[in-house]
Amino acid sequence: MSGALQGLKVVDLSRVLGGPYCTQALADHGAQVIKLEPPSGDETRTWGPPFDGDTAWYFNGVNRNKLGISVDLSSEDGRAILWQLLEGADVLVENFKPGTLARWGMDFERDLHPRCPRLIHCAVSGFGPDGPLGGLPGYDAAIQAMAGLMSVNGERDGGPMRIGLPIVDMVTGLNALSGILLALAEREKSGRGQSIDIALYDCGVSLLHPHLPNYFGSGKVPQRSGNAHPNIAPYDSYQTGTAPIFLAVGNDRQFARLCTHIGAPELPDDPRFADNRSRCAHRPELKRALEAQLARFDCERLAHDLIHAGVPCGPVQTVDVVAAHPHTLHRQMVVHIDGYRGTGSPIKLSRTPATYRTAPPALGADTDAVLATLGIDPATRQRLFEAGVLKG
């Protein structure tokens, strides 16, 4: 095992997406992650099709490089095993309903910190432990609705729409990762662990850029704008002679290059299009003028030529095209481990890069081996398996 986090031991009690996404990133960079599931398993094992045997590929997407054990924490014997795991751990990640650990005698301030003073505890929840919505359950799509994301996503004349991927869960996982790394850095100075509170609701609200700043500055409630950016033009999907191209023109220099390339060098001299403020005020006219010229071009060829000319843009590609794209493969964003294929790490470290060592574990695949390393004798392990406390 190698990586920037080599030697770090993580106990992962989390399920579904936010927590597992975080702990997979830790594991990719060398941490030993022990994923503890209940005997019924992480529910995302059933979130298919497609399935890899009995396990959904949804689960496989965020659980590689982990040791998998199955322990019933509702039993005293199961919680005793968890205590043994924690006494040698650096990080605990969990997404139980707030108050669950306290009921088990594992409250951070009262129980965990005195017994494991260097332990970093990361709690992922829907709304946090307190406040008007504290302790209530939260799933990605519900938070997208409640945090305002759906209200600004969709066509201008359509209804609110869920973003087509679990953006809140994934950003929650990234914020959990950031919080853990911050706490580890602070521990180097203080020698003490701490608890990290990561709420999906907070993470959803934090994504409202530039909509919250626009609201703070204008007092106007942001509206849906389809593919168009609320603050920049041309920053939208435009029809070419073959397929839509997305133009992401961020400044006047790029706009001038675009217009020259498509045979309309006079457009930047038009007062309606002279700068971004003017272009935003005349979006319909700008779109008509650009699409009149773009109709002469093939989308793929145009996108290639424009981006090489310094104009940010791209064809609207489907997932299969992305997975096979030469640059995707060059950037090592597709991982192969035996029959497993997954998404690579976007974090590229020069000396200690991410490594991909093991495919996602079957439910309880490493239970016996991990408990043996804790010094639990074979007879005790067998008794716990027979009692249903363990599964493997």
Alpha-carbon gap, residue 122 to 198, rounded angstroms: 7
Q: What is the DSSP letter of 362?
A: P
Give the tokens for residue 192: 């003490």
Average pLDDT over every residue of 135-151:
96
Q: pLDDT per residue over 10-34, tens digit each?
A: 999 999 999 999 999 999 999 999 9
d(CA 371, CA 81): 8
Cα gap 207→341, rounded to integer Å: 29
What is the chain's Cα-based Rg? Answer: 25
98 is written with which tokens?
């707030």
Residues 6+ apart with CB under 8 A from 283: 228, 233, 236
Is residue 52 within 8 A of residue 27, CB to CB? The reply is: no
| CA dist 69 → 10, 12, 20, 379, 385 (Å) | 13, 10, 14, 18, 12
- Delimiting residues of CATH 3.40.50.10540 domain(s) in the chain: 9-207+330-391
Active-site residue list: 169
The string of DSSP codes covering 201-227 is: HHHHHHT-TTHHHHHHHH-PPP---TT
On the question of pLDDT at 105 being above 80, the answer is yes
Q: Which residue has the tokens 């909509």?
A: 211
pLDDT tens per residue across span 314-365: 999 999 999 999 999 999 999 999 889 999 999 999 999 999 999 999 999 9
Q: Where are the alpha helices (H) located in 61-166, listed in sequence order?
A: 76-87, 100-103, 113-115, 140-146
Residue 1: is its pLDDT beyond 80? Answer: no
pLDDT of 392 over the 90 cut: no
Contact 147, 171 (CB under 8 A): no
Q: What percent of the chain stands above pLDDT 90?
A: 98
Distances (CA, A) of 284 to 155, 228, 233, 288, 302: 15, 11, 10, 6, 22
- Of residues 147, 166, 162, 161, the one with CA closest to residue 212: 147
Give pLDDT, residue 298.
Answer: 97
pLDDT value, residue 210: 96
Where along the chain do the CATH 3.30.1540.10 domains lie?
Answer: 235-239+244-315
**Residue 65: pLDDT over 70:** yes
Task: Convert the pLDDT of each residue in 229-259 to its tens digit.
Answer: 999 999 999 999 999 999 999 999 999 999 9
pTM for the model? 0.94
**How long is the chain?**
392
Q: Was domain 235-239+244-315 assigned CATH 3.30.460.10?
A: no
The model's confidence at residue 2, banded by pLDDT at 50, 70 and 90, is confident
Structure tokens at 106: 């594992």
d(C-alpha 181, C-alpha 94), whole Å: 16
Domain 9-207+330-391 is of which CATH architecture?
A: 3-Layer(aba) Sandwich (3.40)
Judged against a pLDDT cut of 70, whether residue 123 lies above it is answered with yes
Q: Is the pLDDT at 297 greater than 70, yes or no? A: yes
- Cα distances from 85 to residues 71, 78, 116, in angstroms, run 12, 11, 11
pLDDT in tens, 186-225: 999 999 999 999 999 999 999 999 999 999 999 999 999 9
Six-digit token pair at 233? 């033009």
In the chain, the amino acid numbered 343 is T
State the average pLDDT for the chain. Answer: 97
Query: At 196, which helix (H) or strand (E)?
Result: strand 195-199
Identify residue 19 by its one-letter amino acid code.
G
* Residue type (1 letter), 323: A
H helices present in 191-308, as ranges: 200-206, 211-218, 252-261, 276-281, 283-294, 299-308
